[in-house]
Structure 1
Amino acid sequence: MQREEKQLEASLDALLSQVADLKNSLGSFIYKLENEYDRLTWPSVLDSFALLSGQLNTLNKVLKHEKTPLFRNQVIIPLVLSPDRDEDLMRQTEGRVPVFSHEVVPDHLRTKPDPEVEEQEKQLTTDAARIGADVAQGKCQVE
Structure 2
Amino acid sequence: MQQREEKQLAFALDNIIQRVNDLKTSIASMIMKVENEYENLNRPNFLDNYALISGQLMALSKVLSHDKCPVLRNLTVLPLLLSPERDEQLAQSTEGRVTTFAHYLVPDYLRTKLEPRQRPKCFR
- The answer as to 2:55 corresponding to 1:60 is no
* Higher relative helix content: 1
In structure 2, the CA distance between the partners of 1:118 and 1:2, relative to structure 1 (3 Å rule), is: farther
Partner Cα separation in structure 2 for residue 51 and residue 85 of structure 1: 37
In the superposition, the TM-score normalised over structure 1's length comes to: 0.80
1:120: how far off? 2.3
Residue 79 of structure 1: how far off its partner (Å)? 2.3
Match of 1:46 in 2: 47
State which drifts further: 26-35 or 89-98: 89-98
CA distance in 1, matches of 2:26, 2:115: 28
Question: Counterparts of 2:113 and 2:82 in 1: how far apart (Å)?
Answer: 22
Q: CA deviation at 1:114?
A: 4.3
Higher relative contact order (CA 8 A, sep 6+): 2
* Residues 1:121 and 2:119 are matched in the alignment: no
| Structure 1 residue 72, shift from structure 2 partner | 0.3
Is residue 2:73 matched to residue 1:72?
Answer: yes
Count residues in correspondence.
Answer: 122
Counterpart check, 1:23 vs 2:24: yes
Query: How well do the aligned residues superpose, as a CA RMSD in angstroms?
Result: 1.4
What residue in structure 2 maps to residue 102 of structure 1?
103
SS at 2:119's partner residue? helix
Q: Deviations over 1:58-85 (max 9, x none)?
A: 0000000000000000001112110000
- The verdict on how the C-alpha distance between 1:121 and 1:52 changes in structure 2, with shifts beyond 3 A counting, is farther
Give me the whole-angstrom Cα distance separating, in 1, the residues matched to 2:37 and 2:104: 39
Structure 1 stretches of at least 4 aligned residues deviating more than 2 Å after TM superposition? 113-122
Q: TM-score, normalised by structure 2?
A: 0.92
Q: Which runs of 5+ in 1 are unaligned?
A: 123-143
**1: CA distance between counterparts of 2:119 and 2:41?**
33
